[in-house]
Every structure is written in C-alpha cells, then in structure tokens.
Amino acid sequence: MAGDALRLHQQRIPTGDRPRRLAEPVLGRQSGNTYNPRLNCRYSVINASGCRRTPYRVRLEAHHHPQLGFPWCNTRSSMPAYHPAQIEPKWQAFWEQRQTFRTPELPHGEKLYVLDMFPYPSGDGLHVGHPEGYTATDIVCRYARMQGKSVLHPMGFDAFGLPAEEHAIRTNTPPRVSTERNIANFCRQLKMLGFSYDWQRQLATTDVAYFRWTQWIFLVLFDTWYDAQAGRGRPIAELPIPPEVAQQGLAAVRLFQDEHRLAYQGEALVNWCPALGTVLANEEVVDGKSERGGHLVERRPLRQWMLRITAYADRLEQDLEQLNWSDSIKKLQSDWIGRSTGAEVDFFIGPTSGFPAWQAQRQVSGFPRRADEDVLRVYTTRPDTLFGATYMVIAPEHPFVERLTTKQQKEAVQQYRAKAAAKSDRERTDLVKEKTGVFTGSYAINPVNGQPVPIWVADYVLISYGTGAIMAVPAHDTRDFEFARQFDLKVIAVVDPGPPRGEGLDREAVLAGESCFAELGTAVNSGPYDGLTTAEFKARITHDLAETGLGREAVNYKLRDWLFSRQRFWGEPFPILHELDEQGQPNGLLRAVDPQDLPVNLPHLDDYQPHGRPEPPLMKAPEAWLYPVIDGQRYLRETNTMPQWAGSCWYYLRFIDPANEACFVDPVKERAWMPVDLYVGGAEHAVLHLLYARFWHKVLYDRGYVSTSEPFRRLVNQGMILGEMEYTGYRTGTGNWVGAQHVGKNADGLLVDKRRGDPVTEESVSADAVVRSSETLVLADDPAIRIDSRAFKMSKSRGNVVNPDQIVHDYGADALRLYEMFMGPLEATKPWSMDGVRGVAKFLDRAWRMIVEERAESLALSTAVRDCEPTSEQNRVIHTAIKDITRDLDHLQFNTAIARMMEFVNFFTKESTRPRVAMESFVLLLAPFAPHIAEELWQSLGHSDTLAYEPWPVFNEELTRSQTIEVPVQVGKKVRAKITVPANATSEQLEAAARTNEKIAAILAGVDIEKVIVVPGRLVNFQVK
C-alpha cells in the first residue's frame, strides 16, 4: 500500500541525463525562507544506481518558488525520506473507516476521561495554540490505550457567541449558517492533525438536541433553592414558606419562591454596552470597556436573570483543596471568590440624644437581620480598629445618601454623585491615587465610644461590596489614610506596631497618626481592650458586639451573583414564560416551560439589525413564538438568551452520553466515566468557565443528577505560544541607529536617547542584519549597536500568526505535533520557531530511514534491521528509552521524552545491525507523538493491524544498567579525574580506584587528606586541608 504511494513518485530517467537548471536563480542563504521543497510533491526521485554513495538524481521539473517568485528546481537531492502528505491522510482514513477510536459505552477495566477545552469555531480556523493542548491530551490518550485503559476522549464546539452574531448582522444571514461552516472547517483541521477523538460523540452547544438539555439544567437551577443550614441546594417545593407569606395567598407564595431560586430575576446595575447592544457580565468588562471589541460600557439598572453562585461560594472555595490543579489556578479562583471574615457593625445615625435609648434597645433586641432605618451598617475585617474609626464613607449609589445629606451640603453631594455616575469604571480606577469625596453634613455615632463621626460620600467605596458603607480608620488603612490626608480628617492610632522590626516603619509616626500601619499589632487607645493583640482583640470585640446587639461576625465575598441573561439572538433561549394580566402585560409571575416541551427553539428572525435599545432582539420574533398559548392561557416568552458560558458549563457530561434523548446523561454511564481525569486548556479560563462549570456541577450533584461533587480532577494549563522571535533596534528621527544601552524612557514614558534626550523609535531589524558578537547581538554593519530580541503574542496586526494548515502542508501533521511538544514544557509560554519545526521534521526523516530502506524502489525494511538479539549496549539504550519515556509521559514532560527518542535514533542509525525488537519498541514509543509515521513503520515491520492497542513496551531495570560507569573524582571542589569502575563498585573499591588514578595520586601526594566522601555510583571526593 505504502509502496504504491511511493512508486507514484518514482520515475526512471535515462542514465546520463544530466541535471539542468531551468533558470539561473541566485540563491543565497535566504533568511526567513521557509520553503521546503522536499515535501512539495511536484518533483520526483529515481533510484539511479543503488550505490549508497552515489547521489540520487531528481527528474527536473520546474516549480514556482512561492517566495523567491521564479521557477526553480533542485538539480540533485536525496530522496525524500517519507511523504507525510501521502501517509497521513491514508492513516486518518484507516482510523475513521475502522472506527479505531470508537469508545465503548461503558469502560472495560480502568477508565480514563481526558478532556480538551472545546474551541469556539471562529472563522479564522485553528490557531497553533489549539493543537498544543490537543496534542498533549492525544498523546496521553494514545499512551493510555496502549496500557489497556478505556479512554474517553471527545471533542466538540462552543459555538454560540458574538462573532457569529456580528457576522449575521453584517450579512443578514442566520448565524447558524456561518457557525456550521466554521465547525466543518475546524473538524477538517482537527482530523488533519490525527487526533484520536471519538468523533461519534462530537457535539456543538448550538445543536438543538444539545441546548435542549442546557435549558433543562436551567430549569433545575430554577427549581432549586439553597438551604444554607443544610449547606446544599434543594427542590423549591421543599422551601419553608413563612406563615405571614402563606396567608397572603398563592401569588405571594410564588413570588416568595421566586426570590429564593438559584435562578432568579433581579434589578441589577448592569454593564450595558451600547455598541454591542447588550448587557455584559462583570467578567466580560475590562477597564470599563467590553472585553470583546473594547467598546465603552455604561452602568444601568435593568431587570436581569441572575444565578445565585454566591450561595455556593464557600463550597467552591473549600473543595478546591481536593483538586489536582496548579496552585496558581487555585489561588486565582480563591481570590476571585475573595472570602473574607470580619464583622458587621451598626453605627447609629438618629438624633444624638437618641443614642443611649437605641443602645439599650439593641441590648435587648439583639442585632437585626436587616439593618434598621436609623443605622448605617458597615462591614469590616478589622473590628479591632473600631476605636480608631474617625469618619465614615458611603458609596455614591448608597440609598441613604439623600437622607444623610444636609441642606448646606445638598448641592455639593448632588454634583459629586452625578460626576461619579458619569465616570466609567476605568476613570474611577485610573485615579486610584487621588481620592475624591464630599461631606454629607451628617454624623453617625461610633457604637463603642459614643463619639460622633462625620459621614462622607466617596467613590472609593463600592456599592457592590459589603454594605456599600465603611467605617474609616485612617491610622490603619492606607486608603482611608490617603482620604484623611486629602480632606484633613482626624487620625487616631489604635494599633501599636511594637518595636521596629524592619526598615521603613516609624513607630512614633504611627502612634502620632502621621503614618499608616495596616498590619497586626497591639491595641492602644481602645478603652478596656488596650494591650490585646490584634487577633485576641478581634475575637473579643466580635463577641462583645454580638452580646450588645451592635454587631455580629460576618463573611463577605468578592464574588457576586452571576448575571446570566444577554440581549442577543444567538444563544440559548430561556425556558421561561411570563404570565400576562388582563391588559396583556406581564404580571411578574413566572412559569417554567414543561421539561417535556423542551427545547425552546430559537425563532426565525427576518431582521438581525440591532436597534440600540436595551430590549432583547428576540422581541422581534414572530408573534406565535413570542406569545405561546398553553392550557388556554396566553404567555409572553422570556426573550433574553443565556450567555456563551452556559453551554460550556456541562458539555463534559454530555460527551458521556451524547445521543441520549431521554435524559441529559445516563446515570450509569455518568457514574462509570466521571470525573474528568485530565482537563487541559488555556489559563484564560482559570476563573470564569471553570468556576461556572463547578457551580453547575455542584447544583446537579445536590439534586442527585451527578455522582461527583467536582467535575475536573486534574487541570493543566498549556502555556501560550508566542510568535517567532523578533529583533529590534532603536532609531532616532534623523535615521541614526542607537544602541539599546543608550535608550530609556523619559518622564512621559517616551523612548529617548538617554544621552541627548532625542526621541527614538523601536524598529524591527531583519534577522539577517543581526550577528552575534561575543557578548551581545549586534547590527551586522555597526557593531556598536545592540539589538533586543523578543517574542510577541501572535496577532494579525503584527503579522506573526502561524497557520497550522501551512505547517501541515510543508512538514506534515506529525512534525507539527512533535514540534509543539518539543518546544518546551507544556505549561510554559514559548516562542515559535520555524527552524525548530525543521529540526523535528529532520528527526522524523531519520527515524524513518533507521527502519525503512530509502533506496528501494518500493517500501522495504532497511537491510540493517534484522531478527537478532540486541547487544547488551543496544539493550541498555532500548530499555532506558522505554523507562525514561514512560516516566516522562506519566509526568506530561513531552519535550524530554522526545529528546530521549532522538537519542535513540542517533544511536541506532550508527548501528549497522538494528534488531527488529528494538525497532518495534521504538515505533510503539513514537506512536502517541507521531501516530501516522508510526503506523506506517509498524506496517512495514510486518504488522497488518493498527498499533493503537498494542501493549506499551516494558523495560527491564537490569538491562538499563551498564556494566561499568564513569565516576568523577573531586579534590576539594574541583573534578580532577574520572575513573571507570564496575557499576556495582562498593565505596571501598571506589576509593581505592580513585587513589590509584595517576592524576589523583599526583595531586594527593604530599597533602593531608581530611576526609573522603564516597557516594557509590556517583562520585569520590577528597577533602584536603
């Protein structure tokens, strides 16, 4: 079969037919010339003589050089070692036909579920970053299959999303059309890379049969409330209804239930993006601009669907512990959840004369669940600094602002509020250094000492965190300190830092209120609490506050409830109906679509153009869709759609049972395959997707639909692949080049020549122009100029994007896979290098020629490959290769595994006899990495079936050891000699051998030996006086 393929490319040309040039190309060393004629199948090779030394002749056939732009040909070439373009499609077809990677419904024996983060099928096709993680998981899966495990390795597409929507708006065609086209392209590219997915399980979040179950899970969320006491989600029917609510009738009960569901509607200050015509989640807004497109975002109150993820905050944080994720990702999640403990404290804001009565009243009634009208409630993590609270600040959006503002201050406060509202988040955070605010004119009373404290409005306090109000302790909080400095407010120190421990801490200044100290210390100026340490004080005062009804222990999270609705037309519709009153207006009561009536399909729209109002585009849907009639009753459909995250929250479950029409996943299969054993993807999903998916999973777990509390047991983040290294120098306006050593940034952040102050610009330098001097890279024609080399993110605008199609065309999929794994550690950020690709392509050539007879007319085994016993040295190479590669695979260290294979090939190409068993072991070791060439070689070694399920080679520890080893001998710190000893030499033997070594003996003669350290198998060290 392969022979046929090869023969196509072989034609005899008459002996003596001299090669000719068709053109006179001036081919110097073209840097950046990536063209590889060996894989261009438009020329052919013949076997001219059969003599190894005689070069092969190429039949001349002009082909257009894609970069040099003129016809050019090789006049002589070695025979192309192998043709990836022939082999790879052949084996891809083989696997597909035979369904080699079809996964059983249920695992036999040990199971392994390996998941890739499924891609968004963009119109640009696959990026080289995708195959990085996908190759890694593919290697793990192929390796696991050879170890006899049942492997679930699926692929799908996260296909709802804005680009398809934008395309629809541009072209006024349904987004499904472009989405399906993009999916087809992605599939083609993924298959071209030879990944061993079970394609039978392919899914897209946009499939009606898929989002039907996304909607179904939404209904589960809708049907669940969080029982804080039990610490789990329960059916809404089990929600206790307070009697006073029950008395008010059914509608009141339903509203009460709606308030407690995990999916609820709430008036939220949302991020409305006029340019995109939609509301965005906090996570999708970066610096006050939309993450996608960078459009300005404004804050508006709107009624939106929310998911009560905050109810699960504690569990989401605590369960991180049991996961095999990198510490940095865990920490990212943990910070995002942002749990903090402290206390809530009420400051009395009624008339001063009423304070004692209020205090006494509180003593009796205790701390109310909801803050009264006459108090300002604050949250603090440092209740121990309560005595130092010299003023209070409320957020500009705080509901009490108006009440607390006195007549005199009214105008100033109103102006300030208006200004704060107009400010984008970006502006608010940009000027972090400069605090702004305005006095309300009112005072509150500090509950611990009865002192009046002024209440200010300032935008450094956020309405969305804690209670939207703070007690300010300028002596012990840097932000409060800055604010107090700005407005000349009182500073009272209540924490003594103690004797100076490090530099930069002036205890006297702290105690005098001239410096801020935000760490732990000992209490002062705190009445009865003086002398307590911060920790003791915290515990004591929290207890005392609770006793006197003035405060209570409290926990707060940075995490907010998840804004779950979008005003888009390319997303999952909500399976929710609004009840209508007599006038045909929604009456505020909701009805869930009956699960049997799912899916709620997307309606056909005639017109995709946005109207710029924060009203969902699905309001333009046909009447029949918008106003369904059920049981004789007319309803309004919910016209918001779910965010793109929805579909990716549970796709790993659907892969287990993708065709099930009766339920979202069969419980038996779910128990058999879950959890995901290895999940690989980019770090950009460290918080959002991974947090959302865990949240949904926990709800499903609470409701008994899944068997594990966490979905992803092990998570690995692949590093980013940067573009090819670029060289830059600096040039002045007059065109002169300046050495990097003279360039710096001036006060305005501009690049200037530091000597003269002239502005300079960074310019790219062609790699040709760069040469190496002994110390630095320099510009070839001017050794005085240093060049910086740097790699950048791939981007269209920079023009450094590498296209996987091109690499596969030039070097083959195996080379691409191998290169991406060889670049460096999976998790590291690393730059692309075309030369590196050529390097691994060369390795594949060599591996091929190690086994296959390259000179033969048809494919045949190399004559060096024989059925014979390996020599002991060969055995050592074979068995250490197996040992090392196996270990590296277990640790996902693919780069070193490939290095070991290269060593194997380097060794065996020099051997004139290559035992067949060695070659077979090698091919099996290579198979997970470069499966196409491995299958082809396996076939040429005489096997008819795929190697995908061949047992993984085993090594014999005995055979990995060589008989003699070389051991360094040190005198002092220096290695002075190396001795060759039997591998099992004892300490005594080693020392003796070292002493008798000529060189060592000479050095040791006449010196006092203080101590001799011998590490058997490692070294001998003589310590001398």
Output the smallest distance, CB 724 to RNA, in A: 10
Output the smallest distance, CB 824 to RNA, in A: 3
- DSSP state for residue 240 in the 8-state scheme: P
**Which of 358, 483 has the CB closer to RNA?**
483
d(CA 560, CA 133): 31
Output the smallest distance, CB 686 to RNA, in A: 7
x/- mask, RNA, residues 716-745, rule CB under 7 A, reads: ---------x--------------------
Q: Where in 648-707 is the site for RNA (CB under 7 A)?
A: 683
Output the smallest distance, CB 570 to RNA, in A: 25
**Which of 373, 503 has the CB closer to RNA?**
503
Output the smallest distance, CB 132 to RNA, in A: 13
**Which of 604, 974 has the CB closer to RNA?**
974
Strand partners, 570: none
Output the smallest distance, CB 31 to RNA, in A: 8
Rounded to 5 degrees, φ, ψ at 427 are -65, -35
x/- mask, RNA, residues 407-436, rule CB under 7 A, reads: ---------------------xx-xx--x-
Output the smallest distance, CB 1022 to RNA, in A: 8
The SS3 call for residue 236 is: helix
Q: Where in 324-353 is the site for RNA (CB under 7 A)?
A: 327-328, 331-332, 335, 338, 340, 342
x/- mask, RNA, residues 549-588, rule CB under 7 A, reads: -------x-x------------------------------
> What number of residues does the chain have?
1025
d(CA 982, CA 987): 12
Region from 74-82, 146-154, 180-188, 603-611 binding RNA, contact rule CB under 7 A: 74-82
Compute the C-alpha angle 363/366/371, nearest 5°.
120
Total site size for RNA, rule CB under 7 A:
105
Output the smallest distance, CB 730 to RNA, in A: 16
Q: Where in 985-1024 is the site for RNA (CB under 7 A)?
A: 1011, 1013, 1015, 1018-1019, 1021, 1023
Q: Where in 458-497 is the site for RNA (CB under 7 A)?
A: 459-462, 465-466, 468, 470, 477, 479
The SS3 call for residue 220 is: helix
Three-state secondary structure string covering 714-757: EEEEECCEECCCEEEEEEECCCCEECHHHEEECCCCCEEECCCC
**Which of 273, 378 has the CB closer to RNA?**
378
* CB hemisphere CA count around 150 (13 angstroms): 13
d(CA 399, CA 394): 9
Output the smallest distance, CB 516 to RNA, in A: 12
Output the smallest distance, CB 851 to RNA, in A: 13
**Which of 784, 1013 has the CB closer to RNA?**
1013
Which of these, 156, 112, 120, 105, lies nearest to 137 by C-alpha position? 112
Task: Indicate which single residue of 9, 292, 507, 846 sits in contact with RNA (rule: CB under 7 A).
Answer: 846
Rounded to 5 degrees, φ, ψ at 485 are -65, -45
Decide: is 831 part of the binding site for RNA (CB under 7 A): yes
Find the DSSP H helices in 602-736. 623-626, 645-648, 651-654, 667-673, 688-702
**Which of 94, 487 has the CB closer to RNA?**
487
Ramachandran assignment for 525, one of left (phi > 0), alpha (psi -120 to 50 degrees), beta (any other): left
Task: Indicate which single residue of 409, 803, 909, 989 sits in contact with RNA (rule: CB under 7 A).
Answer: 909
Q: Where in 4-63 is the site for RNA (CB under 7 A)?
A: 18-19, 25, 27-30, 33, 35-38, 53, 55
Region from 102-110, 116-124, 519-527, 817-825 binding RNA, contact rule CB under 7 A: 817-825
Output the smallest distance, CB 178 to RNA, in A: 28
Output the smallest distance, CB 394 to RNA, in A: 9
The amino acid at residue 691 is: L
The strand pair at 914-915 and 865-866 is best described as parallel
Cβ-contact 144, 117 below 8 angstroms: no
Cβ-based neighbours of 201, under 8 Å, separated by 6 or more = 103, 154, 155, 156, 655, 658
The SS3 call for residue 675 is: coil
The SS3 call for residue 234 is: strand
**Which of 29, 604 has the CB closer to RNA?**
29
Cβ-based neighbours of 571, under 8 Å, separated by 6 or more = 160, 641, 642, 643, 644, 646
The amino acid at residue 654 is: R
Decide: is 397 part of the binding site for RNA (CB under 7 A): no
Q: Does a cis peptide bond (omega within 30 degrees of 0) precede residue 675?
A: yes
Q: Where in 866-905 is the site for RNA (CB under 7 A)?
A: 893, 895-896, 898-899, 902-903
d(CA 35, CA 371): 73
